[in-house]
Structure 1
């Protein structure tokens, strides 16, 4: 039993909780620096040649679960450890402190009051009358009172004692929501060109709804740099009936039945060309990372037998499109919808380039708990700022004095300034009532 008590005391130690918070913060930083939930090949390509920090190659990134930090076993274990620490701290310290603050403490002698942080003695001819006057002053200032004969106890700001408990409860709820979202959440990233759709399946493989892209446009600044992306979306049920139409853009997602669709990125999907007198050909584009970070293109044969190919490369739906020969020599440039470029006696014309909308779909069942946890923690933090103040007064008829003492869990200076003002008001009220009492 004693061993369990020591273990609980160690787990609920404040220094341990601060250390866990520091480790969790570092781990969260790793999740921000290292790309998350990519394919294994992506990590090998990125880190095998140049290990991260010179130490971790692709294999170690995957072994340490740094490719999915927030859903990794060790990260969830840290959250569980911190949650247990907060629960034990609340149970062992904050809850008893709240219960103690709700109990009235009865000081029976002036000697006890003199040992408090703040203590004053007011000479008076009528200690009992001044005690009643002090009770009335405190009541007018919304203090809670308990009077027993020649003694008085008062308190204010007890609600502040609830603050730490709410902060701990909010953090625990937040971590439960984050863990639930990491384990049960779904994340899907796709590029969809206008006119294409994506079927969203449940865990049984049954189509729940369909997401269709009606249009997509890229807003650019005068220099041609992307500023904003906008997609017109339609949601259809399993039978093809429309559920909702919405326009999304960066920082303005679509939320529907617990699913959130973000405008995340863009790409180039297809190019429509005409070679000579051929019909219009719509051909898919692929990324060409060897030519640049955002470069797309395709190899286009210029002869019916598939020979003499040229490479079309572009970085924007507005062009220009660079045309390279098989020997990697630049032949010329074409603008979409512009004049054709003659290649080997054949005119090559680009009709249009179709961009694709990069959509990020997320379903996180823990979001309500995360927001609720934040709200509870913020409420608790606000309540924690409320100072809990306590005052005691004893009427000493033998010595002709009113002894007053006080305590405060924070901002003791404010109470130290308030107590003399309170006694000054009491003295003024006593002086005003004394002539009336004498004439009576």
Structure 2
């Protein structure tokens, strides 16, 4: 038979039997109601004897409060416990449990996949393979000419005569190797290597640092003797050892008879710094490849150009800044020469103007000394011969455009023609003028015979076919390369951090444990680098630990010294 269910009925009127002062009640106090407190749900049978339920009343004592404990022969129905909605509540509870199980299963699957992915990415052979693949693509990018027109690759890598028997223009243009450092293959390998570095940092380097930072005391002499270096010092004190270790730069911690010391913890953090620095370098390189602009222009002396007119985006992240509205004016272009006549250096005097026509910057640039303004860098890269100012029989000057002529090698040659007959004739003849640079002009007559050489600065006349010719000036043109590279600061910061963290990584992380075993100190230690130097350092360190002498031995030594 199930255990009876009890109801405890408290009579609130009994509280008036306590002997304590009472406050006066308000005049219109509402009538008190009897409160029923039950350990089970209220029965639906009504009052005290309703429902035909047999019960026995047992007095709970008379005194301060009148209480009754009522026993029933059977427990109330389940429907009465839940207020009539137990079945629906149980169904909802089962649904919640099922949903929770599904969520836990899905979460467990995600965790397993994440752990498996991190394990694959942090694989050292995979990371080394990625680095070799990136290096191979970089080498290939130096062999293949970058940024040329498609027709260039059609001509250099034809399908009817493949290079090495199989390399055609399709091998270059299809994967984007004509722009190697912004190609999807190259950027994808960079992203994969960055993911491997982050996975290795999370799964390997950070746990190593956490373990290294713990104060791990050893309480067993046997465990200490198993270290790479182990020694026992009889009649020594662990406190003396700790003082000497602090003098050698160790962080020392003691706990009872145990001692733990370490130094060089920065060497454990260094691999994390190396990984972060490499990620910075790759991020900067990616930003440079996908978010920069580049352009080149040949500008004659005295003319202008707008920066935005010559700049072309290199990737999807290239956004034109306001500085592209700046106008550049070439004030002067000139060259310096060696004694042999070869060009040694060339200069461009440039002025920058904003939209209001105000000069915001002026600088004379040369090779390896560019102009930088608002994130745009202007390099001096080339030179040319724009025009030749000539007087003919006192008339002019006439500006004759100089055309570049092809020569074998990297030598430059420019030429022009001063017509002496009607330009409408089908057979135009005139005076030919050739120049290798801006300092001397070679002149030929109508028959192509050499006549003489004149310097533009001399302004000396020369007679050719009955015409007096004077070379007034040689107007050069400057070859400029312009580019924006937002990733350069990130790359430089990454390389600086890489050099610093690489040096720090050579610091040895040394750990020493010691235990006071009676009058003997058991010492052990290990290090991750420079193991031979660590052993020598430990021997020097232990030689400095003082030996303890008992009182009796001290008296004997004193007597022997006295005799």
Same fold (TM over 0.5): yes
Equivalent in the alignment of 1:274: 391
Out of 209, 216, 229, the residue aligned to residue 118 of structure 1 is 229
Residue 388, structure 1, aligned to residue 528, structure 2: no
The answer to whether the 8 A contact 1:207-1:238 is kept is: no
The answer to whether the 8 A contact 2:385-2:477 is kept is: yes
1:173 deviates by 1.0
- TM-score in terms of structure 2 length: 0.70
Query: Which string of whole-angstrom CA distances, capped at 9 and with x for unpartnered residues, describes residues 406-436 of structure 1?
Result: 010111111100111111100xx235x7679
Out of 173, 178, 182, the residue aligned to residue 62 of structure 1 is 173
Distance 1:219 1:434 in 2: 89
SS of residue in 1 equivalent to 2:361: strand
Equivalent in the alignment of 1:407: 526
Distance 2:322 2:509 in 1: 58
Distance 1:325 1:41 in 2: 39
Equivalent in the alignment of 2:206: 95
Out of 354, 359, 368, the residue aligned to residue 251 of structure 1 is 368
Out of 104, 108, 125, the residue aligned to residue 215 of structure 2 is 104
1:285 deviates by 2.3
SS of residue in 2 equivalent to 1:262: strand
Equivalent in the alignment of 1:18: 128
SS of residue in 2 equivalent to 1:394: strand
Distance 2:179 2:296 in 1: 15
1:144 deviates by 1.1
SS of residue in 2 equivalent to 1:222: coil
Query: Structure 1 residues 84, 436: closer, same or farther in 2, change over 3 A?
Result: farther
Query: Structure 1 residues 324, 435: closer, same or farther in 2, change over 3 A?
Result: farther
Equivalent in the alignment of 1:27: 137
Query: Which string of whole-angstrom CA distances, capped at 9 and with x for unpartnered residues, describes residues 227-258 of structure 1?
Result: 22222111111111010111211111122221
Distance 1:407 1:93 in 2: 20
Distance 1:333 1:436 in 2: 115
- Unaligned stretches of 5+ in structure 2? 1-108, 309-318, 556-563
Out of 431, 442, 451, the residue aligned to residue 321 of structure 1 is 442
Equivalent in the alignment of 1:82: 193
Where do residues 120-199 of structure 1 align in structure 2 (5 Å cutoff)? 120-124=231-235, 127=236, 130-199=237-306
Higher relative contact order (CA 8 A, sep 6+): 1
Distance 2:134 2:446 in 1: 53
Query: Which string of whole-angstrom CA distances, capped at 9 and with x for unpartnered residues, describes residues 134-192 of structure 1?
Result: 01111222311221111000000101111111111011011111111111111111122
Equivalent in the alignment of 2:542: 423
1:102 deviates by 0.8
* Structure 1 stretch displaced more, 205-214 or 234-243: 205-214
- Unaligned stretches of 5+ in structure 1? none
Query: Structure 1 residues 295, 35: closer, same or farther in 2, change over 3 A?
Result: farther
Query: Structure 1 residues 415, 205: closer, same or farther in 2, change over 3 A?
Result: closer
Query: Structure 1 residues 272, 64: closer, same or farther in 2, change over 3 A?
Result: farther
SS of residue in 2 equivalent to 1:234: strand
Equivalent in the alignment of 1:220: 337
Out of 348, 362, 366, the residue aligned to residue 487 of structure 2 is 366
1:395 deviates by 0.9
Equivalent in the alignment of 1:38: 148
- The aligned length equals 429
The answer to whether the 8 A contact 1:314-1:322 is kept is: no
Distance 1:157 1:438 in 2: 40
1:16 deviates by 2.2
The answer to whether the 8 A contact 1:275-1:302 is kept is: no
Distance 1:389 1:411 in 2: 10
1:391 deviates by 0.2
Distance 1:291 1:395 in 2: 85
Q: Once superposed, what is the RMSD of the aligned Cα atoms?
A: 2.9
The answer to whether the 8 A contact 1:185-1:364 is kept is: yes
* Structure 1 stretch displaced more, 353-362 or 147-156: 353-362
Equivalent in the alignment of 2:327: 210
Larger Rg: 2
Equivalent in the alignment of 2:106: none
The answer to whether the 8 A contact 1:312-1:324 is kept is: no
